[in-house]
Homo-oligomer: A and B are copies of this chain.
Amino acid sequence: MIQVGIIGANGYTGGELLRLLNQHSQVEVTVATSRKLAGEPIYKVHPHLQNLDLKFTSVKPEDMEADLVFTATPHGASMNIVPPMVEKGIKVIDLSGDYRFDDISVYEKWYGLKHDHPLDAVYGLPEMYREKIKKAHLVANPGCFPTGAILACLPLVDEDLTDKIIIDAKTGVSGAGVKPTETNMYTNVADNVIPYNVTSHRHGPEIQEKLSKFSDVSVSFTPHLVPVIRGILSTVHTFPAEDVTSSYVKELYDNYYKGETFINVLDVGESPRLSSVRGSNYCHIGIFQQDENGRLVIGSSIDNMVKGASGQAIHNMNIMYGFEETESLEYLGLHP
């Protein structure tokens, strides 16, 4: 049994950590912080967590007592909160973008921030870096779009089948966070589709950096907001140098993800869909025949709050501590 803290427990990813860890047999959540809500019971902002007997507290990072801490804090805040805890020997899984980039200059350019406290961190995509995660003290949990996009592209890229990838992603609104804005208002989102940061979203460079470790590939990325609460559907368009059959691609993906509990490579031609992974830590991958112009399409679906954030963070924790990888992540997608 380990003791776990959550910094920034009032947001959506904090709420997901609390919801999921409630099932974990090896974990006790002892601290859930929120400066604004210190003293309030959890259920005041998370009405679905009526049964959790826990209150928000306010703890300075340097005073934190825990074996592991999840920092569900905004970009720019984590870089000040994480280092004091790492120094104290607390393991940290950071859900912000602050420790995701190897190349700090890319981070600084795209996040518009100066990074004062770089640290060695492992990029926490288990299907990519499981062995490194086992030994990590600081894990940078991947962005939601990069999670779905990389999982869809990785076997192709690692096999060096293509040098140019276009990712057209569709995301649910929970990715915009818990704070009300014009972007996440019901009347602006419902019955609507809106492309945004069309050629300038900062998850593009994150995908670019991670895939570039595997082969020389250029990544173009465009997200769309769709009237969905949870989920990201990534549609990858690419033109392999040589034509490939769908059965070849299917076998490539099956082999690549063999043994990965949370990856389901679907039958050829079967579409990934958000409802199949809703509320779960699974990623569904769909493979389709090339079209007449040699275009190959791969699709993936994840729940942005679980596999794209809090579930993957727990998966990383399970790996770090040698727990069953599926602990508290067993639930299957909520369909319908």
Contact = CB atoms under 8 A, between A and B. Distances in A.
Given A19-B332, A199-B297, A191 B291 contact: no
A186 B269 CA distance: 23
A219 to B, nearest CB: 8
A210 interface: no
A168 interface: yes
Contact of A186 (B195, B229, B274): B229
A22 B282 CA distance: 15
Given A187-B174, A335-B15, A47 B276 contact: yes
A266 B189 CA distance: 19
A233 B228 contact: no
Interface string A79-106: 0000000000000000000000000000
Interface in A262-287: 264, 266, 269-280, 282, 284, 286
Interface stretch (A31-39, A48-56, A132-140): A48-56
A255 interface: no
- Best-surrounded residue of A164, A191, A272, A286 (most CB of chain B within 10 A): A191
30 contacts: A22-B330, A22-B332, A47-B335, A48-B280, A48-B333, A50-B284, A51-B282, A164-B293, A168-B237, A172-B191, A180-B181, A180-B184, A180-B185, A184-B187, A185-B185, A186-B229, A187-B336, A188-B275, A191-B278, A192-B275, A193-B228, A194-B233, A194-B273, A195-B271, A198-B297, A198-B299, A220-B295, A226-B226, A226-B228, A230-B336
